[in-house]
Structure 1
């Protein structure tokens, strides 16, 4: 689930001045050494077509069996709700908007945009998880708007963001409550997790940039400040904060959930908006992570859990979600460490057919043997390929693509695995909506010549939504308007 620009210099420019400071300081390069679409040559070009075919397989099943529902259950052939039972937001449709655009599936994109404009109902009396609503729905609607240039999608994105704002505005600390009711604005969940507090500055920052209303950026920045100013003297953060008192209620320092994407959004905010304070926080926290969490005792780089105030080691479990960190390290200038950490996860693939959701990294024993179609290992492949130019990372992505085809493919598309250690594997019954935004997109960008994506300036959020670098489609013979109009 993660993505941002690669390393590079930006002139010093904060966000304390006029609203125009919310424009990017400079281009936000994903690739530091290469990255043109022409780099996608054989033998990977054939896999570009295969990645589109895989997407179409799952998308067609979703359209046939669960259209308008949040997610597809491909084995039972029905839809499922993500945020709350009995309340749907067409999550898969929203998550797929920019993937459809990149893959040039314009008829499908038109149908998806029509559904959002005609059917998506935000005025539902239900409490939703603020973090998930921002990275999935707000981010998906924004990338859909940037792809199609349809103002209606921007209007819906802003409407949703406004409905989520009470979680930030009524908090005494500025760190958001975990839930908000979309109809009443009532907030709940005072004990919020690190990633959920701090993973919104790109989505809200883009809303500010596009609309000219800096309120969205300001509340996102205030949430990050509420956490960073409460770091320990070791430059470590806990996992859970009481947003009313500012007290840490979870004091374990970790890169794993529920902390993970907090760190990448500090880097994202710096790269997109040149906010020097965000880079300062990111640099300090990264130094703390390497001083107190980095563990090379196995001959590979892993990251332990520790008590945030003392640095005392408390655990040696790693989540596959944390594989994203290999790409973030490379993009933020720690290329050798990023490559080393990706090597660690590649070792896991030597021990398991699919990476388990949780493992003891010293013994490589699965703590949670499920594989929820996680995209993080391939996400890091994309980042490392763009930063280093090494074909090794496309080779690794190809291996994961082959394993997806071998172990997760079903008649209704692709499904999660409940137990990767069983033989044969025990399957679950879900195609997560993020598969359409992340897995499918990462494979396509790695293997295809994505004509509608600028590999040099592209930016993808933690949920894989493209907020920078979308190219306009080539004009059709005889003219015609942009997609989605």
Structure 2
């Protein structure tokens, strides 16, 4: 998501290794836990490739699903090969002009964003080339004003995920480098971070368009990555910075759990602004749930779950149904006025609700899961009502007319297929796989070129843009691949996805 849109168990170490640390002395439990964050987790990671290869062969009883998965893998290979051929080392590929563009300061965002997708799909040669580029060419010493949010979810998240999957320490070293460059953004009077920072000078500031305010989704969508980095490096500074943000927001958390999109970085208090589960608000709510999951749902992370449950009540207060067809949608809110509009970005909420439903009592869990399914159906129909069967960016809901696309461009976003993935995982209903296949076929028909994939400037005429977004490789294709994979591939009791779809290992807090 962008500003424009906005273990099963860990293995125990062998007794021999433990005994050799200090003979004659028993290690304390605390030391064992400390060592387990790096050494034991790495031992688990070493087996991840074997597990993925074994699980990937378990195609279940439906050969059609296996065919679909291979088609998605072919799409990823086409996207990646096109990027390698025309834009290697650049941030993103421009397929129509067959060249690269540095839209993120020249950090090679597509390479880092695609690392775990390549690994999960078993594209090992491509993964090795990406790994070698990271080791030899990834350089963060650039006089560039980086989005703290985008750099965190794409670069820190992508690198830590690459480490969790492969065990290759080069990814952890690079993640530490970029995280250290981002840290000064949290040096504010309240601890609420600024949204932009120069990677060389460390000068941080907020966007002029936000009138000096920080953006809710951007301050509340760094916790997974920085907590994970602290766990894997045994350096608490990253976790301390991002959890201070949640502490400040918790002090000012409203009764309905719905925060305005602008937060004052000096006072830490909300600034008058609108409320949304779409751009500028979305992933804050997502991370409240996912940090609880990342911490293995222990007492240490209960505050996140409580805040999330409060926000779910607020979300329910924003849900309305269209006429005449009864599609459930999530309104935006400006002070006390509801706005009958929904971002396609807000479609992540369907998957979020499905993911969090099991934490409620059985009756409420079923109610929340049913709401997730209703919203998922609406989002699928965002695609179905256009001529290309690809969704626009915004939808209006008018009495008696159901929904209509307001913004007609499509950037190959992942939110709807992400939710279909969760809905399928939690219900087992193959209808969600069929819906995902419909969307994939529409991408193949309208977005695929010989030189890569492009978005659309108009989902009714099919007019194309000239950019292959890195999140198409990081998120859209990965969620589609997992939608057609066995549930044993990246199981949700072992991994949690950041908002850029980078899987991070669950570690108890």
TM-score, structure 1 normalization: 0.85
**1:409 Cα deviation after fit:** 0.9
Deviations 1:24-58 (A, max 9, x none): xxxxxxxxxxx995447321100111111111111
Q: 1 CA distance for matches of 2:501 and 2:382?
A: 24
Q: Answer yes or no: is the 8 Å Cα contact 2:383–2:392 preserved in 1.
A: no
Deviations 1:256-311 (A, max 9, x none): 111000001000111111301111111112112212x1212532211112235xxx
Q: 2 CA distance for matches of 1:81 and 1:263?
A: 30
Q: Answer yes or no: is the 8 Å Cα contact 1:304–1:313 preserved in 2.
A: no
Q: 2 CA distance for matches of 1:238 and 1:453?
A: 34
Indicate whether 1:351 and 2:385 are aligned.
Answer: yes
Residue 342 of structure 1: aligned partner: 376
Residue 312 of structure 2: aligned partner: 286
Residue 97 of structure 1: aligned partner: 115
* Aligned mate of 1:296, from 321, 324, 345: 321
Q: 1 CA distance for matches of 2:420 and 2:109?
A: 26
* Aligned mate of 1:185, from 202, 205, 223: 202
**CA, structure 1 residues 421+18, in 2 after alignment: closer, same or farther (shift >3 Å)?**
farther
Q: 2 CA distance for matches of 1:52 and 1:297?
A: 37
**CA, structure 1 residues 330+451, in 2 after alignment: closer, same or farther (shift >3 Å)?**
closer
Q: 2 CA distance for matches of 1:251 and 1:335?
A: 30
Residue 409 of structure 2: aligned partner: 370
Q: 2 CA distance for matches of 1:54 and 1:40?
A: 24
For 1:419, what is the secondary structure of its paired residue? Answer: coil
* Aligned mate of 2:280, from 223, 244, 258: 258
Q: 2 CA distance for matches of 1:395 and 1:179?
A: 41
**1:402 Cα deviation after fit:** 0.7
Residue 449 of structure 2: aligned partner: 410
For 1:361, what is the secondary structure of its paired residue? Answer: strand
Residue 132 of structure 2: aligned partner: 114
Residue 49 of structure 2: aligned partner: none
Q: Which moved more, 1:276-285 or 1:59-68?
A: 276-285
Q: Looking at CA atoms only, which structure, 1 or 2, has the larger radius of gyration?
A: 2
Residue 64 of structure 1: aligned partner: 85
Q: Which has the higher contact order (CA 8 A, sep 6+)?
A: 1
Q: Answer yes or no: is the 8 Å Cα contact 1:370–1:418 preserved in 2.
A: yes
Q: Answer yes or no: is the 8 Å Cα contact 1:45–1:449 preserved in 2.
A: no
* Aligned mate of 1:271, from 274, 293, 310: 293
Q: How does 1:199-210 map to 2 (within 5 A)?
A: 199-210=221-232
For 1:318, what is the secondary structure of its paired residue? Answer: strand
Q: 1 CA distance for matches of 2:248 and 2:499?
A: 21
Q: 1 CA distance for matches of 2:256 and 2:491?
A: 39
Q: 1 CA distance for matches of 2:353 and 2:452?
A: 33
Q: Answer yes or no: is the 8 Å Cα contact 2:353–2:369 preserved in 1.
A: yes
**1:151 Cα deviation after fit:** 0.8
Residue 470 of structure 2: aligned partner: 433
Q: How does 1:132-281 map to 2 (within 5 A)?
A: 132-168=150-186, 170-189=187-206, 190-273=212-295, 274=298, 275-281=301-307
Let me know the Cα RMSD of the aligned residues. 2.5
* Aligned mate of 2:350, from 315, 323, 326: 326
Deviations 1:63-116 (A, max 9, x none): 010000000000110111122xxx300100001111111111111111101111
For 2:64, what is the secondary structure of its paired residue? Answer: coil
Q: 2 CA distance for matches of 1:141 and 1:451?
A: 23
Count of residue pairs brought into register by the alignment: 437
Residue 63 of structure 2: aligned partner: 42
Q: 1 CA distance for matches of 2:493 and 2:261?
A: 34
Query: For structure 1, which runs of at least 5 residues remain unmatched after alignment?
Result: 6-16, 24-34, 470-485
For 2:467, what is the secondary structure of its paired residue? Answer: coil
**1:459 Cα deviation after fit:** 2.1
Q: Which moved more, 1:118-127 or 1:214-223?
A: 214-223
4+ residue stretches of structure 1 with deviation over 6 A? Answer: none
Structure with greater helix share of residues: 2
